[in-house]
Amino acid sequence: MTRDGGNFGKEHDALRRTLRNRRSGNYCVPALTGRRAWEVPPKVKKTTLKVVRELDGIHPNGTKSRIKILLGDPYLHDHSFRCPITIEGIHLEHTYPDIRGVDPLQCILLSAELAKGMIEDYLEHGGQLFYANSPQAYDLKNW
């Protein structure tokens, strides 16, 4: 109620409901999802990874391998977007956490930047890169 005895109205009730749900952790950002602020976000399905770039690599010990950089479709998780990434064929191979961004474009760009950093590290440790099925050396300036 207001100081003069009147009600705030529907907006006040909606705000109180939103704040109550936020305290309970049961909310999402309506601008990103199109849902009301008190609705629980749905379960997120992981996407399949897609090959972004294939390269041939020669490791410092002389063995050859195919290097694949795989990115998945960005998906909404909590209040941010996530993008799965995998880099196959280099010795530093392990599972990376899904890269988080404020929107789908940012998480794709951050994933590509991570992949570039891993390739640069591979080259610094004596690895060599070539275009897939080609003797032409790969230049990171073309990234």
Q: Which amino acid is at 52?
A: V
Q: Give the whole-angstrom CA distance, residue 67 versus residue 46.
A: 23
Which residues are bridge partners to 101 per DSSP?
81
Label residue 109 by pLDDT band (50, 70, 90): very high
- Tell me the pLDDT band of 19, cut-offs 50, 70 and 90: low
CA distance 131 to 67: 10
Output the six-digit token pair for 52. 């972004």
Per-residue pLDDT band for 90 (boundaries 50, 70, 90) equals: confident
